[in-house]
Structure 1
């Protein structure tokens, strides 16, 4: 990674070591979804694990999508 900035490297990377995302593995009807919790009731999809190629085209399970953790 090349980073072009006038800021000192210490200021750019400050706090990077302390960030630990909380990943959860949720069951999906056709596979598993790995999500990152962003609030107590919401999570961001990080990865979909499914044997069916059609599941990867579903916009509800694409990486970056915000989903509700409430039933």
Structure 2
């Protein structure tokens, strides 16, 4: 990655070490995705891992969307 900025690099990168990037892989209605857990039954979609092209066209599965689901031992990978 190349950053072109007049702002010093220390300021640009400030706080990047403290970011929480704990992601999980789950299936919701048969669609496999990578999410960031927000609570026990809510998560933010980070990216889809589905081989089905139609899943990517579904706005309900757009990255950044908050989803609500029922946690199950069978859904988590």
Give me the CA root mean square deviation.
Answer: 2.0
The structure 1 segments of at least 4 consecutive aligned residues displaced by more than 2 Å after TM superposition are 28-31
Name the structure, 1 or 2, with higher relative contact order (CA <8 Å, separation 6+): 2
Gaps of 5+ in 2: 71-77
Report the Cα distance in structure 1 between the residues aligned to 2:28 and 2:42, rounded to whole angstroms.
Answer: 16
Task: Verify: 1:46 aligned to 2:59, yes or no.
Answer: no
- When the two structures are superposed, what TM-score results if normalisation uses the length of structure 1? 0.70
Aligned residue pair count: 68
Gaps of 5+ in 1: none
- When the two structures are superposed, what TM-score results if normalisation uses the length of structure 2? 0.66
Q: Which has the higher strand share?
A: 1
